[in-house]
Amino acid sequence: MTKKRALAKILSSKVMFKGRVFGVRREEVIEPGAVRAAREIVTHPGSVVVLPVFPDGRILMIRQYRQSVRQYLWELVAGSKEAGESFERGAHRELLEETGYTAKRMRKMLDLLPSPGFLTENMVIFLAEGLQLGKSQPEADEKIEMRIFSLREMESWIRAGKIRDAKSVAGILYYAHCMRRGRHKK
């Protein structure tokens, strides 16, 4: 039987900032091992990521501008989970909003903590199959380009540094090496 490990004792917690997408909280804590520390924590409601796969094995990606890194990035479909929304429901919503596609099957692939040193975000990556095209419903500030890639091309782009977004790299490589099992050799 495993011994339950001690957690930090929170001495104080103060919301420093609350924005539309995230917040910042400052906590004074005594961590396991009697380490007293001040921690700034970025709070986030969680996010969904979608890897849309066509019957022939090709994968849909989107390209959009990201001001934080001042670059256009190729990424998987993704967005924040809305209040009261399940991760799966959020995945269906984001897929439709950003691409116009709906999926007959949405299967959870990975559940990640992208940066647990300071961020509360829980990110869940889904495999979307049985895709049907409809009309996209992007948010007002989203200008999205779509492209369909072969898995081989995406792996090559990852090696070349053309796909740098961590959630996309994780989802693509997990799919390629842990889920495909030889289904799509292209």
Catalytic annotation, residues: 142
80 vs 114: CA distance, rounded Å: 13
Phi, psi of 46 (to 5 degrees): 105, 160
Bridge partners, residue 128, by sequence: 52, 106
CA–CA gap between residue 50 and residue 110 (Å, rounded): 11
Q: 155-166: b or e for each residue (b if 16 or more CB lie within 10 Å)?
A: bebbeeeebebe
DSSP string, 46-112: -EEEEEEB-TTS-EEEEEEEETTTTEEEEE-EEEEPPTT--HHHHHHHHHHHHHSEEEEEEEEEEEE
